[in-house]
Amino acid sequence: MKHFLLSIFLGLIFFTASAQKISADELANRNEHLENLLLDYKEQLVFANEEIARLTRENEALKRKINILLMKETKTDADIDLLKEERKTLLMNNQILKQTIAESKSKESDLKTLNQRLSLDNQLISNANKLLEGAANAADTIQKYQERKIENQRKVIEKMTLNYASQCARLTGTYKIPFSSTRLNILLNDGNTPKPKDLNDLTIAACYQLQGEAATDKIVVYFQLYDNNKREVVQEVTFPLNKVSSEDEIHYYEGNFTLPTDKGLELNLDAYFYEVRYLENVIASGHFKAS
């Protein structure tokens, strides 16, 4: 994309500089040159569309793989690693599209300026101007097409990020067996199976991912536990997620927090649901029932 825009840019400079002293033969030769430039532009346009189609097919295949993994009730470490890898590929594809449209925009003001200068030579080179106008329209068309593709990819990546974060969220509790000192661990958000009412503690685990060069070493998330019927807050707390790894400007955060329950946490309602938020985004949610 950068190379064919540069070739058009240089061709326009040559074209305008010589417009004041031009013969009929020179005009014919220059028009032929512009027609060749236009053909080259169309070939580059076909190539760009094929590249976008290839990336789209690849992303669709990745989304299918990710959705299959997300639907698995039990995920292995290998599954989690594969999710990270495939999401990284989606982000890399998006970066390629984003870079291409950025390069196109950097030339937009130059093309507009040159079109204004070329309009002054309209009496001598009207046919050539029509060709250039067609090329400018084609450039605007591909730019808008790429912008739509980038926006669609951004939405896909955002959805995959939130889905991945929701799979990491875990609520666990510890309780004593009646008439015994034995403590057992229980996963609360594993469906509608009733859970013990009296918990010694409640631990929240969460994860998230951010993209960018200036990501911090930790982020803060907000946890709320609600009464499922009245939507009243039962427990709420903020806690940090620490950065555990970074790869290709993708930063991974994980953390957990145990609610301070000196006297234990009594689940005195029939059902609960919870949310974990980062800034304004709900990155995880779920529900469970008390026995």
Output 227 or 134, whichever has higher pLDDT: 227
CA 216 to chain centre: 19
pLDDT band for position 252 (cuts 50, 70, 90): confident
Mean pLDDT of 19-48: 60
Least confident of 1-10, 133-142, 252-261: 1-10
The model's pLDDT over 51-100, given as tens digits with 9 standing for 90+, comes to 777 777 777 777 777 777 677 767 677 767 777 787 787 788 777 766 76
Please tell me the predicted confidence (pLDDT) of residue 119.
47
Nearest CA to 164 out of 228, 233, 211 is that of 211
Report d(CA 193, CA 271) in Å as an integer.
Answer: 11
Domains and CATH numbers, the chain: 2-167 (1.20.58), 169-289 (2.60.40)
Mean pLDDT of 181-189: 78
pLDDT band for position 219 (cuts 50, 70, 90): very high
Mean pLDDT of 217-242: 87
Least confident of 42-46, 103-107, 267-271: 103-107
**What are the φ and ψ backbone dihedral angles of 121, each rounded to 5 degrees?**
-95, 20
Q: Taking the model in full, what pTM does it have?
A: 0.45
